[in-house]
Amino acid sequence: MKILTAPLMERCIGCHSCSLACAREVHHRLSWDTAGIRIRSSGGLSTGFEARTCLACLPAPCVEACPTGAYSQRKGGGVIVRKKLCIRCGSCAAACPVDAVYIDSTGEPFVCLHCGKCVPFCPHDCLEMADREAMSTSSRIPREVEMEEAS
Amino acid sequence: MIRDHFRIMKVDLATGKGQVMTLEGRDQVGGGSGLAALIYQKFGKPDAPWDDPEQPLIFAIGPLTGYFPLMSKTVMAFKSPYHDQYAESHAGGRSAVALRFAGLDALVVTGKAARPSFLSVGSSHLEVHEAHYLWGMEVQAVGKYLRRKIPGSGHRSILRIGPAGEQSSGMACVNVDTYRHFGRLGGGGAMGAKNLKAIVIQGDGNFSLPEGKAYAQLFAEVHQQLTKTKMMQKYHNLGTPINVAVLNELQALPIRNLKETGAPDINGITGERFAEDTLLRNVACAGCPVGCVHLGYVRLRFHDDHRYFFRQVSYDHEPIFAVGAMLGVTDCFRVLQLIDMTEKMGLDVMSAGVALAWATEAVEKEVISEQETIVPLKFGDAQNLETALHHLGTGANDFYRLLAQGAGKAAAHYGGGDYACVLGQEMAGYATGEVFFVSQALGFRHSHLDSGGYSFDQKHEDRDIDKALNFLIKDEEGRVLLTSMVSCLFAREVYKETLLADCLKSLGYGTMAEQMGELARRVQRLRWQTRLATGYNPAQVKIPKRFTEITTWKGPLDQEFLEALRLRYAQRILELGQEKAPEEA
């Protein structure tokens, strides 16, 4: 199964279209927080943007931490979340090493499901669905070169 | 979240307390421009001076803000230090979406803080912090301190003023998220008079959406139109600076204080030149996939041993015209340096550049001297002009303090009014002819965005007063509808009435969707009524002689047409302000 990746965040313009799309299409919310991908600027807009999103750990520490089985391991990396089983304890967010889980004011967790619905909303193609196996460093290099040549 | 009323937060800086209030009138005025005027009518003091502590600063968004792409602007309304009348200024950045996610249709700030302060507001907090240590600080530095103090990176909007705002300058802007501005008519001065250095808006709430798939489908369609068609290409490709070369070619670019309208040396500051030599990247307002904000860079050597620093500076047509063409500075990196100085000072770059262009010509004509300007001013001398912008921002002497109230006021004192390029306020970057000059001189915001007069000039060779007048009124009406939603005006070709109606319906605003025409006309009237009540008399607006001396691609300016249109438009504005709404008539 493919996972969501954000390999070209240097192109990001900070429009938040991805977060808004996730909140809208996946979680049926109007928000840039209750989303599996969230855009942050670090030290102001002049330093660029970073995406807070699930890196598809395998095995995932949030699954290990979840006391009720609401989180289970997704094939190919990441998690499957069954909200009905969730007791709003926040252990998943605490266990995530990359701050990918957002907990709203009611304790509900929001994390990327690797569904890819955000991808078409990115105007600069920063995001991409990819196989975990293809995520080696070497596979990125040709892409960067092609991009430079194209420009 | 989708409400049939307005939810506003009214903060009193004197007490540090706020009040959440409900206002009726959603279907009547929409939001944005309409809501701002409604709020000023309720809480404003039309007869009191602009710096009366009770005068409100209003930040309003619309029913579509955050729900659809490019619905990304906030309308700021206030009584202006520039002309002591009701004024609007618009900005993007993250301010609009942050207000939406803070759960507010408007933030209203009244009172004056006892000491320099900043305000922080979100969906579940309101705090006024004493912040004497920020006073005197340049705009970028304030941003850095506040980012450290207030959490929410990426999901907050930081509005702040620089030294110019603290000086109550009539051309002080409010900087929004580093690269955007509530630029014109001195909103920064209005903030400074309240001892308010900054406002942080945290968009930390989340809200439910309409049931069903219709809304998400419509969103996807609009997003597709905006990103997959060529409609928005000009804004993210070269951006607005594409106009520099086009206008120069047409002989319609104001150059060296509008002594010229076309010149070969402008080739150094065209949009193409900026993109090729200086462009680092683009950024976007929150909720806009277009990304029209172009960032160039300033790189300065500060030591013999090859030590440099660099800063990113946003550029657009208007800043390039104002501190480039108007000041005769024709090197793109020099222009960025001048823009950067206005950013530090928190000056509106358009007003500052055009005012300084008047001062530069006044020096040339020996109306003023270095006694006033401190440094020698000369067209093209970027270094001294940069120093002069610093003096203008800090109010270095009586001359600069007066100039900061507008070139017209300085000229009234020192002389040289004939060549003060003022159309209600310092001119925008279009010398296209009679309709634009009248449109900016008399228009509501004295902005090139009130109505497309510059476009009308380019499309019509005939000088038909009725046609021009009808265009100005109808175009303003259409734009008022958009600024009540609140859309970025760059999307005006996308958000036509049918699409706007569909968007409103998808959120449950069916009544508003069916009465958009009436709403637009109502808000248009309401805005003019509000402005007129604060003392505006359009019949008294004069267009300085310099504007009548230009030659464009159409030939010499037609003074008779200009004057006749000016009188008719003034009359029409007065009539609009007196018209009764159909329900009142």
Provide DSSP, B308-341.
EEEEEEEE-HHHHHHHTGGGT---HHHHHHHHHH
Predicted confidence at residue B163, as pLDDT, reads: 98
Predicted confidence at residue A48, as pLDDT, reads: 85
Instruction: Say if residue A86's pLDDT is above 80.
Output: yes
- In chain B, what percentage of residues exceed pLDDT 90? 94
Q: Do B147 and A40 touch (CB under 8 A)?
A: no
Selection from B247, B261, B259, B258 nearest residue B423 by Cα: B258
Across the interface, of B67, B178, B286, the residue whose CB is closest to A44 is B178
Mean pLDDT of chain B: 96
Q: Do B312 and A46 touch (CB under 8 A)?
A: yes
Topology of the domain covering B432-483+515-578: 1.10.599
Contact A53/B at CB under 8 A: no
Crossing angle of helices B465-482 and B559-578, in 10° steps, is 50
Q: Can you tell me the distance from the alpha carbon of A21 to that of B190, in angstroms, rounded to the nearest whole number?
A: 37
Q: Residue B191 — φ and ψ, nearest 5°?
A: -70, -45
Q: Is A148 exposed, middle or buried (0-12, 13-18, 19+ CB in 10 A)?
A: exposed
Residues of B in contact with A46 (CB under 8 A): 178, 295, 311-312
CATH class of B6-202: alpha beta
Predicted confidence at residue A146, as pLDDT, reads: 47
Three state DSSP letters for B348-382: CHHHHHHHHHHHHHHHHCCCCCHHHHCCCCCCCCH
Kindly list the distances between the CA atom of residue B566 and the CA atoms of B423, B434, B478, in Å, as whole numbers in the listed order: 12, 9, 21
Mutation choice for B interface testing from A42, A46, A151 by most B CBs within 10 A: A46
Mutation choice for B interface testing from A11, A28, A34, A45 by most B CBs within 10 A: A45
Q: Do A45 and B178 touch (CB under 8 A)?
A: yes
Instruction: Say if residue A151's pLDDT is above 90.
Output: no
Predicted confidence at residue B153, as pLDDT, reads: 87
Contact A49/B at CB under 8 A: yes
Which domains, from first to last, does chain A contain?
2-55+99-150 (3.30.70)
pLDDT in tens, B485-519: 999 999 999 999 999 999 999 999 999 999 999 99
Contact A20/B at CB under 8 A: yes
Q: Which residues of B touch A (CB under 8 A)?
A: 1, 66-67, 69, 97, 100-101, 124, 143-144, 147, 153-155, 177-179, 203-209, 215-216, 219, 223, 227, 281-291, 293, 295, 311-312
- In chain B, what percentage of residues exceed pLDDT 70? 99
Q: Do A44 and B144 touch (CB under 8 A)?
A: yes
Contact A16/B at CB under 8 A: yes
Q: Do B291 and A15 touch (CB under 8 A)?
A: yes
pLDDT in tens, B373-383: 999 999 999 99
Q: Do B223 and A104 touch (CB under 8 A)?
A: no
Across the interface, of B69, B207, B285, the residue whose CB is closest to A31 is B207
Where residue A139 falls among pLDDT bands split at 50, 70, 90?
Answer: very low
Q: How far is B117 from chain A (nearest CA, A)?
A: 21
Contact A123/B at CB under 8 A: yes
Query: A134-138, B434-438, B477-481: which range is least confident on average?
Result: A134-138
Q: Do A14 and B1 touch (CB under 8 A)?
A: no
Cis peptide before A63 (omega within 30 of 0): no
Instruction: Say if residue A136's pLDDT is above 60.
Output: no
Across the interface, of B67, B69, B283, the residue whose CB is closest to A14 is B283
> Taking the alpha carbons of B469, B470, B471, B476 in that order, is the dihedral positive or negative?
positive
Q: How far is A4 from chain B (nearest CA, A)?
A: 20
Q: How far is A88 from chain B (nearest CA, A)?
A: 17
Q: How far is A18 from chain B (nearest CA, A)?
A: 10
Residues of B in contact with A32 (CB under 8 A): 97, 101, 154-155, 203, 286
Q: What contacts B532, CB < 8 A, 6 or more positions away?
A: B574, B577
Q: Do B155 and A20 touch (CB under 8 A)?
A: no
Query: Would the CATH topology of B6-202 be identical to that of B230-425?
Result: no
Instruction: Say if residue B52's pLDDT is above 60.
Output: yes
Contact A25/B at CB under 8 A: yes
Across the interface, of B97, B209, B295, the residue whose CB is closest to A29 is B209
Residues of B in contact with A28 (CB under 8 A): 208-209
Q: Where are the domains of chain B?
A: 6-202, 230-425, 432-483+515-578
ipTM: 0.89
Instruction: Say if residue B346's pLDDT is above 70.
Output: yes
Q: How many CB pairs under 8 A join A and B?
A: 99
CATH class of B230-425: mainly alpha
Q: Can you tell me the distance from the alpha carbon of B280 to that of B289, in angstroms, rounded to the nearest whole number?
A: 18
Kindly list the distances between the CA atom of residue B88 and the CA atoms of B57, B317, B387, B390, B446, in Å, as whole numbers in the listed order: 10, 21, 30, 26, 10
Instruction: Say if residue A144's pLDDT is above 80.
Output: no
Mutation choice for B interface testing from A11, A12, A16, A53 by most B CBs within 10 A: A16
* Chain position carrying tokens 């036509």: B496
Contact A47/B at CB under 8 A: no
Predicted confidence at residue B2, as pLDDT, reads: 82
Kindly list the distances between the CA atom of residue B125 and the CA atoms of A32, B22, B58, B120, B481, in Å, as whole numbers in the listed order: 18, 18, 19, 8, 32
Residues of A in contact with B205 (CB under 8 A): 31
| pLDDT greater at residue B65 or residue B302 | B65
Amino acid at B494: V
Global pTM reads: 0.95
pLDDT in tens, A101-127: 999 999 999 999 999 999 999 999 999
Residues of B in contact with A39 (CB under 8 A): 154
Residues of A in contact with B223 (CB under 8 A): 17, 121
Q: Do B283 and A29 touch (CB under 8 A)?
A: no
Residue of B nearest to A29 (CA): B208
Residue of B nearest to A47 (CA): B312
- With contact defined as beta carbons under 8 Å apart, do B93 and B282 qualify? no
Q: Do B205 and A31 touch (CB under 8 A)?
A: yes
Predicted confidence at residue B160, as pLDDT, reads: 98
Three state DSSP letters for B375-443: CCCCCCCHHHHHHHHHHHHHCCCHHHHHHCCCHHHHHHHHCCHHHCCEECEECCCCCCCHHHHHHHHHC
Instruction: Over range B385-404, report the average pLDDT.
Output: 98
- In chain A, what percentage of residues exceed pLDDT 70? 85
Listed by number, the residues of chain A in 72-91 with a beta carbon closer than 8 Å to a beta carbon of chain B are none
Decide: helix, strand or coil at residue A4: strand
Residues of A in contact with B176 (CB under 8 A): none
pLDDT in tens, B145-195: 999 899 888 999 999 999 999 999 999 999 999 999 999 999 999 999 999
Q: How far is B142 from chain A (nearest CA, A)?
A: 11
Q: Do B207 and A29 touch (CB under 8 A)?
A: yes
